[in-house]
Amino acid sequence: MASAATASSSTSSSLIRGEPDWSQKAPHFVIRTLDDVRALGAVKQARTQTWESRRYLRRVDGFGFSFHQTLLKAGSSTRIHYKNHVEAVLVTSGYGELELLQPHQTEGEGFAVFKLEPGSFYGLGGQECHVVRAYPDGDLCVSCAFNPPVDGSEDHNAEGVYPAIGADGVPRYAFAAADVPRLFRPPESLKGGSGETKPALPLTLQTKLGTVVLSLPSSEDGANMWSLAQGAGLDSNSAYCYIIHCMYFADTCIVAKTPAGRMVGFVLGFLPPTDPDTYFAWQIAVDSDFRRCRLALSMLEALRQRLAARYVAASATAASATPALMACLAAENDTKMEKKIGWLPEDLFPATSPAPPETLCVVGPLGVEKADKAGPTTGIRQASPYATRGVQSGAVLRVHPVVWPGNSSKPLSQALLNAYEEQGFCILRAVVPPQQIEASRKFLEELVGSINEPSRSRVDSDCRLVTEAGSSALRSIFAVHEDADSPIAELATSPLITQFARQILADDVYIHQSRVNLQSAFKGAGFSWHSDFETWHAEDGMPCPRSASVVVYLDKNVESNGALMVVPGSHKSFLRCPGRQEGANWEKSLQSQTYGTPADEDILALANKHGIQHCAGEAGDVLIFDSNLLHASCGNRSPWHRRNLFVAFNSWENRLQSPFYAQVPRPEHVAHRDRIARFGADAA
């Protein structure tokens, strides 16, 4: 980025006045005239002589995209197929046409033609093959943004393809997933986040052995680092090596000292020029008195955050403690560690000084991108369109159907299906006969009465009981469909209930979760705004929202006793919930949800757009709602119970995998993955 600023900003002919050091005060600012662009050699004439591209921003500028002004010559026709890029285009002057066509088609055979005029915009987000024609009466001028950014030398090949060129300078006419980090880079000014994300140094740590202060090294620290390395039995290097690191590479190193100034640890490392996203920890040392207090891990974590490194690498022999340390770093960040055994060939070392085999340990991806980059390892999964439990909030568009096509069963009318598609829920009146409701209530009262006084405020994994937070009052009873010979289990598994889910999901179904929410009179606490699918996806491993809940009202539901509130239409947007989950969240979330709740501003935006509706109804009514529907309920301070049977059905084809954004799955009675029965027309 510094080279870009020097080559453009400080010499720009646009400068009217400025302080002598203005470019140092705004190092990421770029202003260029067309003459500046020409002076940089960034004007490209097509080999076909049909267009001229003026590359105002290129990869070297570090913006994360490139920006061009392109003139398509009057009367010209240009076939383009950006297989390696996405492009956004705005027409600024002139007139023409754009034709979309399949790669095997020739010009004039396309499946759609569009008029281009000043103010027209189009985006090529799917590598679409197209032809741009400029009308004969004048040049067509367009402004374009490219990702990945162009290097500046690219020209179309015979197919109309630009090669993708990364920081390594290698042109790629096709690239694999492994090349993505080399081609797509965040803007340099935002690489570490939009705020001050680097841990402020000095950083004071409280360890079980006392206070330790982490800081960048100074040249005076080199001799003490050498002594500590000698005492720790590390490879013998000259003191000169440590002093030079402290003088010239201090920003990629760290030292740990006691308040009295005694050095008790250090990490020496660097960012390889060919792979600046990786921090290579060359040497890690901890004083013997300060081992087993997570000091080495704390130093590595501070360094990788300061440097915004997506990967941390270290090389070690089999006898070293480094592999265990790197495994801990991976576990702390919910990511993976790869080992490359024998990565340094033995013949690189002199015969008089052979080295034992080394294993390269690489931890990552790290940071906010880990959920998208990590492979299929335990805890974090790959390629989910519903990324959540990170630093980002906000809504993303749902990419799966609501009412799935292909089911011939018709318990719900087309009008009800249309309402469910648009609103995310529907209410059916007087579905369950009164005698069946009465039998279920009687059984439930006997069940609750037979339970010995539950321990205060607990989640009991054996008897499936959840109490209200800070109280002995029962909140929920889970896995009620497994209670043998109970009228509630009979109701939950009856075709009267399962038929609705089978029609909406167009598949055989099974019970993902069943429970009775008691919401007792005077005592029942509320439920925070959430969508069920966010938790089922993150913590249970449900691949997509091909699931629906059927709620049987066992009591009258009205606003005063906490009737369910929903945001109609919210099911079409997936709300990402910020906050990295630690450990088994389910034990707390069943009482009072912390993780898996959207940001207040995201809830407000959807509520302002769609409104809020109370799902009031009589005992025997049935509410069916989509798993991604935003819903909540207030506490029940009325003198009337509001007991409801919830049965969450999942498509048989959508059975659970490992959790997408949690370390361990929730237990069987909360999210069924093993004890499941298939409900369908032909299921046993």
DSSP notation for 452-463: --PPSS-EETTT
pLDDT at residue number 206: 76
Closest of 198, 309, 213 to residue 254, by C-alpha? 213
Tell me whether the omega of the peptide bond preceding residue 365 falls within 30 degrees of 0, making it cis. yes
Per DSSP bridges, beta strands 278-286 and 311-316 are parallel
Q: Is the pLDDT assigned to residue 221 strictly greater than 70?
A: yes
pLDDT at residue number 456: 39
Give the mean pLDDT of 605-627: 96
Give the mean pLDDT of 612-616: 96
Q: Cα(653)–Cα(56) distance, rounded to whole angstroms? A: 50
pLDDT at residue number 185: 72
Reported confidence tier of residue 426, pLDDT bands at 50, 70, 90: very high
Q: Is the pLDDT assigned to residue 642 strictly greater than 80?
A: yes
Residue 315 phi, psi (nearest 5) = -110, 140
pLDDT at residue number 377: 34
Q: Cα(502)–Cα(510) distance, rounded to whole angstroms? A: 9
Q: Cα(97)–Cα(124) distance, rounded to whole angstroms? A: 15
pLDDT at residue number 487: 94
Reported confidence tier of residue 422, pLDDT bands at 50, 70, 90: very high
DSSP-assigned letter for residue 18: -
pLDDT tens column, 53-95: 999 999 888 888 999 999 999 999 999 999 889 999 999 999 9
Q: Cα(386)–Cα(547) distance, rounded to whole angstroms? A: 15
Q: CA distances (Å), 38 to each of 14, 146, 152, 453, in order? A: 15, 20, 12, 82
pLDDT at residue number 459: 37
Between vectors from CA 51 to CA 45 and to CA 53, what angle results, nearest 5°?
60
Q: CA distances (Å), 238 to each of 79, 226, 234, 254, 355, in order? A: 61, 7, 12, 19, 18
Reported confidence tier of residue 461, pLDDT bands at 50, 70, 90: very low
Determine what percent of the chain is predicted with pLDDT higher than 70. Answer: 86
Q: Is the pLDDT assigned to residue 349 strictly greater than 70?
A: yes
**Which one has a higher pLDDT value, 141 or 316?**
141
**What single letter denotes the amino acid at residue 472?**
S
Give the mean pLDDT of 103-115: 93
Neighbouring C-alpha atoms within 13 Å toward the C-beta of 681:
9
Q: pLDDT averaged over the chain?
A: 84
pLDDT at residue number 267: 95
pLDDT at residue number 618: 97
Q: Is the pLDDT assigned to residue 447 strictly greater than 90?
A: no
The two three-digit tokens of residue 601, written as one number? 């501003």
pLDDT at residue number 292: 78
| Sheet hosting strand 631-633, strand order edge to edge | 527-530, 631-633, 565-566, 613-614
Q: Cα(474)–Cα(501) distance, rounded to whole angstroms? A: 28
User: What is the DSSP annotation of 546-575?
Assistant: -EEEEEEESS-B-GGGTPPEE-TTGGGEEE
pLDDT tens column, 583-605: 445 455 444 455 678 889 999 99
pLDDT at residue number 389: 76
The two three-digit tokens of residue 628, written as one number? 């991604």
**Close Cβ partners of 435 (under 8 Å, ≥ 6 residues apart):** none
Reported confidence tier of residue 374, pLDDT bands at 50, 70, 90: very low
Task: Work out the number of other CB atoms within 10 angstroms of the CB of residue 511.
Answer: 24
pLDDT at residue number 462: 46
pLDDT at residue number 588: 52
Give the mean pLDDT of 360-387: 56
Strand, coil or helix: what is 68? Answer: strand
Give the mean pLDDT of 560-584: 83
Give the mean pLDDT of 94-107: 94
Q: Cα(433)–Cα(646) distance, rounded to whole angstroms? A: 17
Closest of 476, 431, 429 to residue 644, by C-alpha? 476
DSSP-assigned letter for residue 200: P
Q: Is the pLDDT assigned to residue 40 strictly greater than 90?
A: no
**Which one has a higher pLDDT value, 611 or 371?**
611
Question: Do the beta carbons of residue 386 and residue 537 sit within 8 Å?
Answer: yes
Task: Work out the number of other CB atoms within 10 angstroms of the CB of residue 77.
Answer: 17
Burial of 46: CB neighbours in 10 Å, binned 0-12, 13-18, 19+: middle
Closest of 88, 70, 62 to residue 8, by C-alpha? 62
Question: Do the beta carbons of residue 313 and residue 356 sit within 8 Å?
Answer: no
Give the mean pLDDT of 213-237: 89
pLDDT at residue number 163: 83
Give the mean pLDDT of 509-515: 95
pLDDT at residue number 460: 44
Give the mean pLDDT of 542-571: 95
pLDDT at residue number 9: 41
Determine what percent of the chain is predicted with pLDDT higher than 90. Answer: 45
Give the mean pLDDT of 557-569: 94
**Close Cβ partners of 33 (under 8 Å, ≥ 6 residues apart):** 12, 13, 14
Domains delineated in the chain: 41-190 (2.60.120.10), 203-373 (3.40.630.30), 425-450+460-654 (2.60.120.620)
pLDDT at residue number 79: 93
Strand, coil or helix: what is 233? Answer: coil
Q: Cα(332)–Cα(297) distance, rounded to whole angstroms? A: 9
Q: Cα(1)–Cα(7) distance, rounded to whole angstroms? A: 10
Q: Is the pLDDT assigned to residue 492 strictly greater than 90?
A: yes
Q: Is the pLDDT assigned to residue 665 strictly greater than 90?
A: no
Number of residues that make up the chain: 684
Give the mean pLDDT of 114-131: 94
DSSP-assigned letter for residue 288: G
**Close Cβ partners of 511 (under 8 Å, ≥ 6 residues apart):** 481, 492, 493, 647, 648, 649, 650, 672, 676, 677, 679
pLDDT at residue number 421: 95
pLDDT at residue number 173: 76
Give the mean pLDDT of 302-309: 86
pLDDT tens column, 239-280: 999 999 999 889 899 999 999 999 999 999 999 887 888 899
pLDDT at residue number 406: 78
Tell me whether the omega of the peptide bond preceding residue 202 falls within 30 degrees of 0, making it cis. yes
pLDDT at residue number 470: 60
